[in-house]
Amino acid sequence: MGSDPAGLNRRPGHELAAGLRAGDFSSLELTDVHLAAAERDNRGLHAWLTIDAEGARAQAAAADAALVAARRDGPVAVAALPPLHGLPVALKDLVSVEGGQCTAGSRILEGYRSPYDAHITERLRTAGAVILGKTNMDEFAMGSSTEHSAYGPTSNPWDLDRVPGGSSGGSAVAVAAFHAPFGIGTDTGGSIRQPAALCGIVGMKPTYGRVSRYGIVAFASSLDQVGPFARDSRDAATLLHAVAGRDERDSTSAPVPVPDRLLALAASDDAAAGLLRGKRLGLPREYFVAGMEPGVEARVREAVAALEAAGAVVEEVSLPHTDYGLATYYIVAPAEASANLARYDGIRYGPGMRDGDTLANVLATRGRGFGAEVKRRIMLGTYALSAGYYDAFYLKAQKVRTLIKADFDRLWADGFDALVAPTSPTVAFRFGARLADPVSMYLSDACTLPVNMAGLPGVSIPCGLSEGMPVGLQLIGAPWTEAELFELARGYEALTADAAWRTVEPTDLARAGDPDGPTPMDRAAALAGAA
């Protein structure tokens, strides 16, 4: 093998794809390197709920066989292989994989095995990707820290005493900790972008309808969207290209072509940086929220200055209904969740109580199977939809949602190419710091959830460190402009390619591999005891 196997999992996906095609290593060798890292670190990080080593190796062997056949047919056949062919991917544990577990981080789905593949799973199989397993998440994607998983929290590889963000914390950590070059998450109010920011990687929430939700466990159906994690914009764009597109089984899946520009981001730093020249970017003043950490604001404003130095035009703008976004979201999302989660009754899915009459069994099953945060949101949502309160809460929230979208539409009509903003107002916080105060936890998504309310695409990219922890820069675009956002992200990566912070790996990763070290649950309990 022409490459050091110990370094393979540090390389970006597009380099791994080139190495596979050149025969420098096999998909099986690549898969084994990533599996070894995931299995070594999972005690300390708890990023994975299940690692399917046998299934992953079988998929890798099939990818290698296809590579051998393509080489026999010549360079054109090798070049025609999909970009993800033979490369490892981590899936959030609400993505259906035929025959595999799909718990959505909840005890109420413990033991459930999916009878079919989600649409994106089908797409990944067609692309020849290797699915390594399923990652940890906040229960039913309700949370901003992955502390609400029924199976225990996940640690941030930059500091094992801190959260990775959520709800897609497991997938974000799997990518940040070099367990996989690609990861899949879902974003309802920031659940891809916020953990991407807190873990120092790239994460995109696409336009609502860009990726099919068929086979994805639902939280809030008008807000949920599947999206990619990666360690750079080129890889994230490649993963989005693979899973996006119309699916007749999902009525919200849009018949909008997936642009091949996603596969053509500039490889040259000079060319990429040149794409920023003349771009008109808005800087929403409302996104610099009260309580934002000074170090976070400093890194974001430094990034904005770098964009201006590269020729972008940055203008301060206002999104006046932003302040209503949090309240609006926490009416709409729980209302939709209360309807979606009504199906979990112990009869059709997962374990159920069988000791009383039907109603008593259903109540007991839901009481035992759902965690505290899920129960909280079901109660909020049911109340908002109840007779006498529907008009006062849910209907009014939908009207405000229209106003939030109109704020963005006005800026697109004014000719802005994108908006630039913080992703999270803080760096990763310590375990337990916000569990006793749900409102402070909800504020973690203050900069991300308006994008979901408006159905827009948004991407978070690393923009430096504050007190040794990653900070994320968010780029927000008009509907269906994912390729343009990734071009801007790639341009910023080019500008900062030589920045010292780009050479820093997650600083607590070595401790995560200690076989005798504490688990994230141990750490969380110790911090709670100290408090």
Catalytic center residues: 92, 167, 191
Instruction: State the Rg of the chain over Cα.
Output: 22
CB 26 within 8 A of CB 5: no
> 202-205 and 280-284: which strand pairing?
unpaired
3 state DSSP class of 203: strand
Q: How far apart are CA 184 and CA 377, in angstroms?
A: 24
Can you spell out the DSSP letters for 44-61?
A: HH--EEEE-HHHHHHHHH
Closest Cα to residue 490, out of 317, 281, 270? Answer: 270
Backbone φ and ψ for 21, nearest 5 degrees, come out as -70, -30
CB 75 within 8 A of CB 169: no
Bridge partners (DSSP) listed for residue 89: 131, 182
- How close are the terminal C-alpha atoms of the chain, in Å? 51
CB 223 within 8 A of CB 456: no
In 280-398, beta strands by DSSP E: 280-284, 313-317
CA angle 262, 264, 267 (to 5 degrees): 125
Q: How far apart are CA 402 and CA 65, in angstroms?
A: 51
Instruction: Give the distance, in angstroms, between the CA of residue 360 and the centroid of all CA atoms in the same chain.
Output: 37
Q: How far apart are CA 47 and CA 513, in angstroms?
A: 12
Task: Please state whether 86 falls in left (phi above 0), alpha (psi between -120 and 50) or beta.
Answer: left
Closest Cα to residue 381, out of 345, 344, 455, 329? Answer: 329
Closest Cα to residue 193, out of 218, 228, 221? Answer: 228
